[in-house]
Structure 1
């Protein structure tokens, strides 16, 4: 057999070291504690139970060996060859020789060698006895105690400063939010005086960076003007245009204004007026009156004629203005009117006339009904009669309907012009201020 010694600070570490180096087949022959406090274990490699203890290493200083394999499941029994050697030794000593009669003798049977015992790791209490007890920490010096106290105080100060900084940042953020909310509410209240819808107001305010100064109002009005869809002014007063809308919105008057401006600028040779309003008695008489005054031809489209044939007849003209019948959105005859517009030539631009005197919901309903014919834009009429332009402005922004003309009076041909967003917003602010003052006078007296 081969023998090896292992040293470790305690028994547990020594056993772990033996397992890592040799494996579970090693057998502990002896163990002892050295003067240095370490534990020394003697193990046998390739242990053979048939060998007598005298074949092992001789070390008088060592205590009696405790032969135990590291991971043996049970205690090993003496081998058969060892028992045979005991019998041979008994025979050689004369135990089998004949004795004299009456001679007494004893036969000492050699006890079998003790079986190697399996090593079991000691319980915590036993392990504490085998291992070296931890070294008792000495009491720190006064200087060390002061240093540790200072470190604790510095740590507390650091945490206090961090908490103070976090509280300050949170307070600043809350103050900024409160200030922003105050500025938003103030600006929203100002925009409501124009008659704008909540949806448009929220969009305008959300897109701005407010400072609480007078420039916030100017920035809001400028952003509002940029939000209004405008049809290019270069397309105004030219081409083939049909004007549609409910009754009394100013379709015929708008046509008379545009025709008069064109005749004054270019002459009457390239202008023609067309009407499809055959539902009312003498409905086309007003348009014929404009034709006689301007000296331009007037055509009436009825159930016996086709709109496309009339458009083809005057296709050479620079300006063709088509007047349609004014109908309530719930009128059944409106479907026939819209069907005729759907069948019209593709170059016919369709404009919806929206009066600024109507409520926002009424305007929105009209847009929804007429949008099935793919409107090219709109005309905002009766600006001079409205107490608030915000309702009409909100509808064109929300519906994305471009504004082509604005009409603000009954005078022909003066009270109409191509739409300009900033002029429209200026007019809305002026209208709100004028009617706000009038309302105050009526409510509180002069």
Structure 2
């Protein structure tokens, strides 16, 4: 007797495999559903009535439980023959032991009936799936109710918040500090009207200190100070280029005190060659005041200083030089709008010992929020002289105007708010 096993995704395909492989003389000994979900059929050729050890018959109480299984029907016949009992009459035709009759029976039945007849459904797994589906439906319902409750509470809060709280929340989104927001809220009456927001921004612009001075012509001496990489040298190049374009190169000189880094003054010398203006380097062999006196007849003297960390020991020497400088030297602190509020406050605190005349807000185009820098200059009462918003020379710098700067802050907050929302929700 030859035993063969066939596997297929369903019973129909399994029967077809048996029929194609061994023909109508095969006897189906058993079938089962595998853990993978496939159907496995065991067949025999030259069947002699015996069963392999792995296919032993069921217990006596269950031996005749299926009238559609050829193997069990054959066993039943053997038992009846041994006991000399007449064949049991059946209400339905007895399936043949041979494969061709089994093929016909399978092909006539529906898949659901075949599975039920062959006991290949796993009722326990089905009940577990039903229970899991019920649990998922319950969780979906709870999530939906929670979402609706949150939206309802948010809607109620938007209606119940006071005009002051509404303005407070909008100013907070600009990145402004609580100190500045409280100053605006406490000194401005809000009545819940549409123009409350414009009124708040107008008061914010009034609080913002700016230097009331046109950019050109600009007379005198100006020193640019601040940490590394904030845009001091670039700002000097922009201002010098604009002055040369309007007034010529005969009245501008560039000075650098940065001798701490290798070739630190090369960028300034490059500007000097392009603009055809003189460049002076202040080192241990020269004095800043001597250089200022040398070019006292020039209408514009721009001094570039070494960029240092507020904790750098050499910074103290740099600050002493500025303290001893001529009184007509204006000292501007360059503050990048990309820095955190606490970092900006620390820089202002360190450099304020030399009596700053104002500041330059740089890197506006790279910042996601201007509220931090605006808050610092308001709290420290540090006038803003210039705003720089790019790398183009000489275009990307202009005199500070309060209302323009506040409008830029609102625009930046709206743009980055939309960008953050699209990244968060994937829209």
Work out whether the TM-score is over 0.5: yes
- Indicate if the aligned counterparts of 2:188 and 2:200 stay in contact, CA closer than 8 A: yes
User: Is residue 2:184 matched to residue 1:207?
Assistant: no
Tell me if the contact between 2:268 and 2:279 (Cα under 8 Å) persists in the aligned partners.
yes
Shift of the alpha carbon at 1:369? 0.2
Give the Cα–Cα distance (whole angstroms) in 1 for the partners of residues 332 and 271 of structure 2.
20
Q: Deviations over 1:121-157 (max 9, x none)?
A: xxxxxxxxxxxxxxxxxxxxxxxxxxxxxxxxxxxxx
- Per-residue deviation at 1:412? 0.2
Query: What is the correspondence of 1:285-324 to structure 2 with a 5 Å cutoff?
Result: 285-324=266-305
Partner residue in 1 for 2:99: none
Normalized per residue, the structure richer in helix is: 2
Mapping 1:136-175, distance limit 5 Å: none
Tell me if structure 2 keeps the 8 A contact 1:241–1:320: yes
**Counterpart selection for 2:263 from 273, 282, 286:** 282
Please point out which of 154, 163, 168 is paired with 1:183: 163
2:205 counterpart of 1:218: no
Q: Distance in 1 between matches of 2:160 and 2:189?
A: 9
Secondary structure of 1:188's counterpart equals helix
Aligned length: 269
Distance 1:219 1:259 in 2: 38
Q: Which runs of 5+ in 1 are unaligned?
A: 1-178
1:227 to 190, 194, 207: 207
- The 1-side partners of 2:176 and 2:211 are apart by 21
Taking the aligned partners of 1:324 and 1:181, their CA distance within structure 2 comes to: 50
Deviation at 1:238, TM superposition (A): 2.9
Q: Residue 215 of structure 2 contacts residue 399 of structure 2 at CA under 8 Å; is this kept in 1?
A: no
Distance 2:385 2:212 in 1: 7
Question: Does structure 1 residue 366 correspond to structure 2 residue 347?
Answer: yes
> 1:234 deviation in Å?
3.4
Q: In the alignment, which residue of structure 1 is the partner of 2:369? A: 388
Q: C-alpha separation between the residues in 2 aligned to 1:227 and 1:260?
A: 32
Task: Measure, in 2, the Cα distance between the counterparts of 1:375 and 1:181.
Answer: 42
Q: CA deviation at 1:207?
A: 1.1
Distance in 1 (CA, whole Å) between partners of 2:315 and 2:160 is: 49
* RMSD value, Cα: 1.4
Distance 1:372 1:207 in 2: 31
Alignment check: 8 A CA contact 1:180 1:210 kept: no
* Counterpart for residue 330 of structure 1: 311
> 2:329 — aligned with what?
348
- Aligned equivalents of 1:294, 1:367: Cα separation in 2: 32
Determine the C-alpha separation between the residues in 1 that align with 2:215 and 2:367. Answer: 27
What displacement does 1:435 show? 0.2
Q: Cα distance, 1:184 vs. partner?
A: 1.2
Q: Hey, what's the Cα distance between the residues in 1 that align with 2:250 and 2:395?
A: 21
**Higher Rg of the two aligned structures:** 1
Check the 8 A contact 1:277/1:283 in 2, yes or no: yes
Q: 1:191 to 1:345 in 2, by over 3 A?
A: same
How far residue 284 of structure 1 moved from its aligned partner, in angstroms, is 0.1
TM-score by length of 1: 0.59
1:275 deviation in Å? 0.1
Moved more, 383-392 or 202-211: 202-211
Cα distance in 1 for partners of 2:324, 2:270 equals 28
SS in 1 for 2:214: helix
State the 1:264 CA deviation.
0.3
CA contact (8 A) 2:215 2:398 kept: no
